[in-house]
A = this chain, B = another copy of it.
Amino acid sequence: MSPDPTSVTQLTPLLFLERSAAVFPDKEAIVYGDQRLDYRQFADAVTRMARALQASGIGPGDRVAFLMPNLPELLMAHFAVPLLGAILVAINIRLSAPEIEYILDHSLSSLLVADPTLLESLVDFKPPPAVKETIVLGDGFEEFLGRGSTEPLPWRVDDEHRPISINYTSGTTGRPKGVQYTHRGAYLNALAELIHSHHHAGSVYLWTLPMFHCNGWCTTWAITAIGGTNVCLRAVDPALVWDLIATEGVTHLNAAPTVLISLANHPSAQRFDRRFVVTTAGAPPSPTLIGQMSDLGAEVVHVYGLTETYGPYTVCEPQSGWEQGAERIKLMARQGVAYIGADPIRVVDEDMNDVARDGKTMGEVVMRGNNVMSGYYNDPEATARAFRGGWFHSGDLAVWHPDGYIELRDRQKDIIISGGENISTIEVEQAIASHPAVMECAVVAMPHDHWGERPKAFVVLKPGEQVEGGELIDHVRGRLAKFKAPDEVDIIEALPKTSTGKIQKYVLREQVWAGTEKRIN
């Protein structure tokens, strides 16, 4: 049935800023150091940025890349770029120069806005030809803003199915893929975040989660929807985080367990006399961590998802029947059930049949619906592969419990998740293999108390060659983002292989993970 324009408004997060600027004009929207913007100023700054982009040649459908930590300008970009109908590409700041260049080139981003400190730290960075201009925060950015005007633009889109952002993820091929979010998906997922993280108009949200990860799990848009306060910060320093929690009255934060471990074990850790919600994903929080955070008065919301699912897709909904104590914490460490707004999650065998809900049979986690990307940018083959059988294939292996909760056990994809960051094992293997002494190698995840997982390499050298593990680690660090280099390298005689010559990574994983129940952390 054809929707009537008077009773159907196309869904877009732009509506959230329109509303909060009108309803909460004087309320604090953004805090960053001494900088404080209310919602009127936030909306004005967004309009100014959009008009400056427009004056710089950006129009509907163009890609605009941002490379910066959690600064106010990146939050503004989440509204300013879509306000023109353009598409935001927020790049992971931990990547190396070649990786960033690949993303800029693949997305054909016309413009790059970057933080000067970051730019300086990149070795031999050279934007590809598609990037017509690089604007650096500071004087350059001020000049850029001066190009436009403050003339209002409508907070509307003509079609909610249009893309709003592209988020690049490490894939199994080792090459980042551009995950496309739509205005509709961003709108619906932002509302779901509000509900599952128990946000309210009094929310003071601390930006410990990078905005370049799934647009901060759509929280970039959600906090604005509810009229909360965004506390920005350049880097997650535990002492600063505790200081901001105290002085700004923080009520909510999202973070990978790694970050929570740093916080819980920091000398400044303290309990406040207010409701404090911590939403965590990227790895299952350990019972110890859930216990520690609870002791600090924090309510831990455990969620799970991927870049392809706008961030979280599942939440471990607590049930009133769960006993307190160790049993509860174990139940809480499961990935859980689909979000409100997400289609039911499934765990399937290779023929797309549901596996038994026995807590034992493993299968692949598949998703679909409004909580799933519209596809990989400019990659119809990878999109078709990911959506085979009409469901998005997560590549994560899980068991399905009798109560319908899923629990991750392993990964089909050769991905290591370290401190919430994805590392493609294939990419690391290729970097190691580029060393002249290396014959072949295999990289697997090993469990790590702080980071969750870290890469470990098994290397077979060419006959007669001699090289230390440390030299190979340095070799990788010169080629990839430093966090991708393996922590350990075992030089061995031969890799375990199938009769057809395929490397049996699972044998190596079994060896590394001996004594643990799972194969991911």
Binding site for B on A (CB under 8 A): 1-9, 11, 15-16, 18-19, 22-27, 159, 161-162, 182, 184-185, 191, 194-195, 198, 200-202, 225-227, 317-321, 337-338, 340-341, 343-344, 368-370, 372-375, 387, 390-392, 404
Contact between B4 and A375 (Cβ–Cβ < 8 Å)? yes
Give A24 to B341 CA distance when docked, in angstroms. 16
Contact between A184 and B8 (Cβ–Cβ < 8 Å)? yes
Contact between A3 and B161 (Cβ–Cβ < 8 Å)? yes
Q: A16-B340, A195-B194 are in contact. Are A390 and B5 (CB under 8 A)?
A: yes
Contact between A392 and B8 (Cβ–Cβ < 8 Å)? no
Please give the count of copies of this chain that the complex contains. 2
Contact between B198 and A19 (Cβ–Cβ < 8 Å)? no
CB neighbours (8 Å) of A320 from chain B are 27, 202
CB neighbours (8 Å) of A372 from chain B are 6-7
> Which of B184, B198, B390 makes the CB contact (< 8 A) with A200?
B198
Q: Least Cβ distance of A184 to chain B in Å?
A: 7
Give A159 to B3 CA distance when docked, in angstroms. 10
Contact between A8 and B340 (Cβ–Cβ < 8 Å)? no
Give A434 to B404 CA distance when docked, in angstroms. 64
Give A315 to B3 CA distance when docked, in angstroms. 26
Give A59 to B159 CA distance when docked, in angstroms. 32
Q: Identify 24 residue pairs between A and B in the complex whose beta-carbon atoms are under 8 Å apart, listed by A's number.
A: A1-B162, A4-B375, A6-B369, A6-B390, A7-B374, A7-B375, A8-B370, A9-B343, A9-B370, A15-B343, A19-B337, A19-B344, A22-B344, A23-B317, A23-B337, A25-B404, A27-B320, A191-B195, A191-B340, A191-B341, A195-B226, A201-B318, A202-B320, A225-B340
Contact between B19 and A368 (Cβ–Cβ < 8 Å)? no
Contact between A9 and B161 (Cβ–Cβ < 8 Å)? no
CB neighbours (8 Å) of A392 from chain B are 6-7
CB neighbours (8 Å) of A162 from chain B are 1
Report the nearest B residue to A185, measured CB to CB. Answer: B7
Report the nearest B residue to A8, measured CB to CB. Answer: B370
Give A19 to B15 CA distance when docked, in angstroms. 27
Give A4 to B372 CA distance when docked, in angstroms. 10
Report the nearest B residue to A317, measured CB to CB. Answer: B23
Report the nearest B residue to A372, measured CB to CB. Answer: B7
CB neighbours (8 Å) of A15 from chain B are 343
Report the nearest B residue to A155, measured CB to CB. Answer: B344
Report the nearest B residue to A190, measured CB to CB. Answer: B340
Report the nearest B residue to A162, measured CB to CB. Answer: B1
